[in-house]
Structure 1
């Protein structure tokens, strides 16, 4: 007996029990106990289970950077509300379908966690964009997915399995329509705005991994098509992030610098007047608008002789000195 078998034959029960539950007795014996890595079926099954757990664990934080980005910037610029709503509806269908067919939670757990994060993002988009009746819309964004899941998964549910199958088929065009608005916004703006690159790339890799796990564990054709479409669309978003990377950074930096620049012109092209300029009579407003950019600390030049007021010496009124 090799030293490796000495380890695998004496694995503690608190590790062995969940490993058997995850891999099954046969694959645990072949892969772990006997270390037979040439067993193709169990090897693929073990890799699939490992990827599934990694996807579920990673999905718990995959959209957190997007949430933080919205909160820090207090803006949802460049994010498609329609896309996130359609994505949430598709996730509700996937969760209900997998649960009704008693598939392992590891094959769809990320959909449930992503739905929770999607709901938070939708609420933030509504609130930051100041939609009319934002509070009511936020409540609807939270309660409707919860209601749909509750009705579908309840004992003696009135929703038949055939309807869920049809809804899952419908989720394929939903997946397409949820990403296309975001792709079009990025294309029109030539920028990805507040879209999180971590979210896009992790979603792309997650869909690719789900293709393998679904093919290995369930073989459901509709789910395979769904994840295939998701891989293509997330791949397009990833390419846009790479293509518009410099443009997005330039847009963000320019908007930040312009808001902090004391000489930034207003929308009419005028330079805001300082307190000294407003109270000084040495320069006229029209003269100030002709100055492109100047520092507040720069000294005022006296008006030219051509623009100096003409003094009538014969006037009975005494002239006074003009204040600087």
Structure 2
């Protein structure tokens, strides 16, 4: 049944009454002159097929009696369902005409839902999302810290995919690993491995340590390339196999938590000794050789940022302390890169 666009009264609503003479006797739709029309409630009543009884049921306008023919209870219910769906479409059209188009509000709701799915829980917990973007409390400092920390952390993780690639490409392009200290790279690999194992064991958020995983993979690649260009390819392959086995053992339940914590604590001397070895190599050679300036400066900036994110997301002072030491060491290497910027490695004389 198609409802008219307007009831006759100034405050009226539709009501539905099923005759009580029998289940298939018929039903009546009428317009009831009552103040306080509640169209959402009416729409729900129409969809469910329940009778809408109001006041004294005085019919002021449109009235139609719809007889129900035979066909069984199932067919009767099916006809009722279809007619209810048709009436719902008519009610929806009426609402759109009266409110100026509710599709705008629906579109806004869908956009807000999509925005929330992007932010929660990747960047913000739901309570912080409500405070910042529902209550518009933009001065909520704890939630702003969470948003900043998550954004910086994920940015570092994304950037770590490319941090050491310039170093890898520089070695491959020159077909030489001159100026790189193998011992320094191995100690750096040890520190990164400790961070990855420690973070996985303690279930830290991936945004607080994810870059260590990608840096670890790139560092093991640099280790192999150094050995390869020194004529020790077989030794490099054996090193990769032993490292993979060691990593599986550390991540297995067989390794006690105390051992994992000790490995993480050993990162401080490993980072310091590794960077000092690289600094000593640079000083001895009088240049930085194939050391990539882009990689050095990215590592320095990333370690500085990690001091804040590790405190904010994990609260682990051991992890934050390691990044403090790493920032100091990376800053020293960055200063050497600037100092030896114009220094070039001596050209090797070609054999006659």
Q: If the length of structure 2 is used for normalisation, what is the TM-score?
A: 0.66
In the alignment, structure 1 residue 169 sits paired with structure 2 residue 249? no
In the alignment, structure 1 residue 147 sits paired with structure 2 residue 239? no
CA distance in 2, matches of 1:176, 1:34: 47
Which of 76, 82, 89 is equivalent to 2:190? 89
Structure 2: segments with no counterpart, 5+ residues: 1-105
> RCO higher in 1 or 2 (8 Å CA, sep ≥ 6)?
1
| Structure 1 residue 130, shift from structure 2 partner | 1.4
Residues 200/9 of structure 1: CA separation in 2 closer, same or farther (3 Å cut): farther
SS of structure 1 residue aligned to 2:255? coil
**Hey, what does 1:20 align to over in structure 2?**
120
Q: If the length of structure 1 is used for normalisation, what is the TM-score?
A: 0.71
Please list the CA deviations of residues 210-243 of structure 1 after superposition, one character each: whole Å capped at 9, or x if unmatched.
0000111111111111001100000001000111
Please list the CA deviations of residues 225-265 of structure 1 after superposition, one character each: whole Å capped at 9, or x if unmatched.
100110000000100011100113xx3xx628x76xxxxxx
Which 4+ runs in 1 deviate beyond 6 A?
6-9
**Hey, what does 2:199 align to over in structure 1?**
98
| Contact in 2 for aligned 1:89/1:145 (Cα 8 Å) | no
| Contact in 2 for aligned 1:92/1:145 (Cα 8 Å) | no
Please list the CA deviations of residues 142-185 of structure 1 after superposition, one character each: whole Å capped at 9, or x if unmatched.
2233223322323xx11111221111111111111121110101
In the alignment, structure 1 residue 109 sits paired with structure 2 residue 201? no
**Hey, what does 2:227 align to over in structure 1?**
126
**Hey, what does 1:190 align to over in structure 2?**
286
Q: Supply the RMSD in Å over aligned alpha carbons.
A: 2.1
**Hey, what does 2:18 align to over in structure 1?**
none
The answer to which of 220-229 and 6-15 deviates more is: 6-15
SS of structure 1 residue aligned to 2:120? helix
Pairing of 1:1-324 with structure 2 (within 5 A) = 11=111, 13-22=113-122, 23-131=124-232, 134-135=233-234, 137-154=235-252, 157-248=253-344, 251=345, 255=347
Please list the CA deviations of residues 3-32 of structure 1 after superposition, one character each: whole Å capped at 9, or x if unmatched.
xxx999653544422411121111222233
Residues 176/37 of structure 1: CA separation in 2 closer, same or farther (3 Å cut): same
SS of structure 2 residue aligned to 1:194? coil
**Hey, what does 1:289 align to over in structure 2?**
none
SS of structure 1 residue aligned to 2:343? helix
CA distance in 1, matches of 2:190, 2:115: 37
| Structure 1 residue 48, shift from structure 2 partner | 0.5
SS of structure 2 residue aligned to 1:47? helix
Residues 178/9 of structure 1: CA separation in 2 closer, same or farther (3 Å cut): farther
Please list the CA deviations of residues 90-140 of structure 1 after superposition, one character each: whole Å capped at 9, or x if unmatched.
111111110010001111111110011011111110010113xx31x2123
**Hey, what does 2:56 align to over in structure 1?**
none
CA distance in 2, matches of 1:40, 1:69: 44
Structure 1: segments with no counterpart, 5+ residues: 1-5, 260-265, 267-271, 273-324
CA distance in 2, matches of 1:9, 1:163: 51
Question: Which is richer in strand?
Answer: 2
